[in-house]
Amino acid sequence: SYTADIISTVEFNHSGELLATGDKGGRVVIFQQEQENKTQSHSRGEYNVYSTFQSHEPEFDYLKSLEIEEKINKIRWLPQKNAAQFLLSTNDKTIKLWKISERDKRPEGYNLKEEDGRYRDPTTVTTLRVPVFRPMDLMVEASPRRIFANAHTYHINSISINSDYETYLSADDLRINLWHLEITDRSFNIVDIKPANMEELTEVITAAEFHPNSCNTFVYSSSKGTIRLCDMRASALCDRHSKLFEEPEDPSNRSFFSEIISSISDVKFSHSGRYMMTRDYLSVKIWDLNMENRPVETYQVHEYLRSKLCSLYENDCIFDKFECCWNGSDSIVMTGSYNNFFRMFDRNTKRDITLEASRENNKPRTVLKPRKVCASGKRKKDEISVDSLDFNKKILHTAWHPKENIIAVATTNNLYIFQDKMN
C-alpha cells in the first residue's frame, strides 16, 4: 500500500499496466505493473511507483476572493497512440493534459556544450564529432501539454474522453462543456441547467460520461436522482434530453432525506455500452439504456444506514460521494462504503461480498476475509454492529483493471491493490 495525502481519484489506463491516483495536494502518482515474472507464474506483477508529479497548485480567484483548491477531482487516460502516455487531470476549475514519457537514453558528445551543459568556448573546438545516444537510467517525465482553463464558473465534477479520442467533456455543477484536445482557448457549452434566477436553483449536475462507443451520446446525472441521455446530433445545446432515466419514489420509504439519498454521486457506462450504473447514497443501480422508467438491477450497499440518516445528515456523511466501477467483463460491479469496507456484486450469481481494506486485518498475499455488518439484534461472532462502524474511514474511490481481476481501492490516505488468486 502507498501512503499519501488524501486520495481523491483512482484510474487504470486502457491496458491496465498503469494506475494513476490524484490527491488533495494536487499531486498525481502513477504506478506501473511489473512485467510478469516467468519464474513466479503464480502471481501477476506488482505495481510500483512509476512517476510522481505536481499537477495542480492552489490558486486564488481575486475576483471572487476565494481560493481554488488544488485537489485532483478526476483523472482520465487517453488511449495510447505512441510511446508516450497521456492523461487528463482536473481540479475544480482547470483541466490539464499531461504527457508522460520515458527517457532511457541521452545524447552525449556535443561539440559546443560540455557534459554538464556549460557552453564551450568555440575557439577551443579543434575537431568535430557526431553526438551519440548512450543508455541512462530510466527517467519518467511528465510535462503539461495543454491547459484548459477559464471555462467553468462552478466546480468541475467530471471529465470524460469521447470515443473519437479527439474531444472530451467537462462537467461542473450547472454546465457541461465540450473540448477539442488540441484547442485550449475555447470550448463548446453543450448543457446548461443554470436557472435565469439563481433563487430557483433546486438541482445540480453531479456526474457526466460519454458513451464508450457512440461518440455523439453522453449522459449526466443530477442531485435529484435522474439521469439524462443526450445526443449531440440533435441540437447544439443539449438542454433537451433524448432520454430521462428516473425510478419512481417508493412512498413507504419517504422521509425528509429522500431527495438527498437519491442524489447520484457517480454514473458509469458498462464496457459494452448497453448498460449504465449509477451510485446513490444507499444503492447501486444498473440501467438498460432502452428502459427509462426503472433500473434493471438494484443492489443495496449498506441498507442498514437507512435508519441512521438523521445522524448521517448531522455529521455530513450523507453528502459523501461514492464512486462505482465495472469489472472488465461487466459481470461484477464494485463500490465503497464506510469502515474501510467495499462491496462487490456479481450480476450473474446475484451474490455479493463485503471486504475490508486495512493493514491490520490483512497480511500481504493472504485472502481477504469477507465481512458482515449486523444491522440489529444479536451480533454473531465476526460481525460488526452498525454502531461500531467508523464513518471517518470511507472508501469513495475504487477502480477495476480493464482486463484482469486486479482492483485498486483507496482509503483516506492509502491505496490498496488486490488481485484474485491465480491457480
Please identify, using beta-carbon distances, which residue of 92 and 247 lies nearer to another protein. Answer: 92
Residue 155 CB, nearest approach to another protein (Å): 7
C-alpha cell at 114: 560540455
Taking CB under 8 A as the rule, does residue 418 contact another protein?
Answer: no
Size of the site for another protein (CB under 8 A): 54
**Could you tell me which of 140, 199, 208 has the C-alpha nearest to residue 179?**
208
Show the site string, 14-33: x = touches another protein by CB under 8 A, - = not: ----------xx--------
The verdict on 313 binding another protein (CB under 8 A) reads yes
Please list every residue from 221 through 280 that binds another protein, using CB under 8 A. Answer: 223, 252, 254-257, 259-260, 263
Task: Judge whether 345 and 333 are in contact, CB under 8 Å.
Answer: yes
- Convert 225-256 to b/e letters by CB count within 10 Å (16 or more is b): bbbbbbbbeeeeebeebebebbbeeeeeeeee
User: Applying CB under 8 A, which part among 35-43, 57-65, 103-111, 356-364 lies near another protein?
Assistant: 57-65
Which residues ranging from 79 to 138 are in contact with another protein (CB under 8 A)? 92
Binding mask 149-188 for another protein (x = CB under 8 A): -----xx-----------------xx--------------
Per CB under 8 A, does 204 bind another protein?
yes
Q: Is 1 in the site for another protein (CB under 8 A)?
A: no
Question: Closest distance between another protein and the C-beta of residue 67, in Å?
Answer: 5
CB of 280 to another protein, least distance (A): 12
Q: Give the residue among 289, 292, 168, 176 at the shortest CA–CA distance from 237.
A: 176
- Binding segment for another protein (CB under 8 A), chosen from 112-120, 212-220, 348-356, 390-398, is 390-398
Q: Name, in order, each residue with C-beta under 8 angstroms of 110's C-beta and a sequence gap of 6 or more.
A: 131
At its nearest, how many Å lie between another protein and the CB of residue 109? Answer: 44
Residue with cell 575537431: 127
Cα angle, residue 281 at apex, residues 278 and 286 outer, rounded to 5°: 25
Q: Is 52 in the site for another protein (CB under 8 A)?
A: no
Rg (alpha carbons) of the chain, rounded to whole number: 24
Task: Order the strands of the 132-148 sheet from edge to edge.
Answer: 74-77, 85-90, 95-108, 132-148
Which segment (175-183, 241-249, 340-348, 383-391) binds another protein by CB under 8 A? 383-391
Residue of 52, 149, 392, 420 that binds another protein (CB under 8 A):
392
Query: How many Å from the N-terminal Cα to the C-terminal Cα in the chain?
Result: 24
Nearest in space to 273 (alpha carbons), one of 228, 235, 217, 323: 217
DSSP, residue by residue, 169-195: EEEESSEEEEEETT--S--EEEEE---
Of 361, 359, 360, 388, the residue nearest 373 (C-alpha): 388
Q: Provide the pairing of β-strand 383-385 with 372-374.
A: parallel
Q: Which stretch binds another protein (CB under 8 A): 129-137, 302-310, 341-349, 359-367?
A: 302-310
Binding stretches for another protein (CB under 8 A): 3-6, 24-25, 58, 63-69, 92, 154-155, 173-174, 198-199, 201-204, 206, 223, 252, 254-257, 259-260, 263, 307-311, 313-317, 319, 387-392, 412-413
